[in-house]
Amino acid sequence: MKLKLLSICILAIILTRDVFPQTVSTTGNASVNLIRPLSITSLSGEINFGEIILTGAPTVQTLSPQQGRVFRVEGQPSRFTTVTFNSVNLSNSVWVITNGGSIGSLVFTPLVVHTAASASYENPVIVVSGNSYSLVSSAGTGLLYLWVGGNINIASSQPQGDYTGTFNITVSY
Partner 1 sequence: MMKCRYILFFLFLLLFVTTNSYAQHNPQASSIVRVSLVKGIQVNQISGNLDFGEIIQPTTQTTIRKSPDNGVVFLLNSHLNKNVSVQYSSSTLSNSGWVNGYGGSTASLTFNPEVVHTGSNSVFQNPIEIISGNSYTPPTSAGIASMNIWVGGSIEIIPNQPQGDYSGTFTITLTY
The footprint of partner 1 (CB under 8 A) covers: 37-42, 46-56, 61, 69, 71, 88, 90, 92, 99-101, 104, 106, 108, 148, 150, 152, 154, 158-173
**Residue (77 or 159) nearer to partner 1, CB:** 159
- Cβ atoms of 156 and 58 closer than 8 Å: yes
Short-list 94, 88, 82, CA closest to 63: 88
**Least distance from partner 1 to the Cβ atom of residue 143, Å:** 14
**Residue (101 or 132) nearer to partner 1, CB:** 101
**Least distance from partner 1 to the Cβ atom of residue 80, Å:** 13
Whole-angstrom Cα distance, residue 39 to residue 121? 21
**Residue (84 or 123) nearer to partner 1, CB:** 84
State the CB neighbour count (10 A cutoff) for residue 8.
10
- Cβ atoms of 149 and 61 closer than 8 Å: no
**Least distance from partner 1 to the Cβ atom of residue 25, Å:** 23
**Least distance from partner 1 to the Cβ atom of residue 13, Å:** 26
Buried b / exposed e along 145-161 (16+ C-beta atoms within 10 A): bbbbbbebebeeebbeb
**Residue (16 or 29) nearer to partner 1, CB:** 29
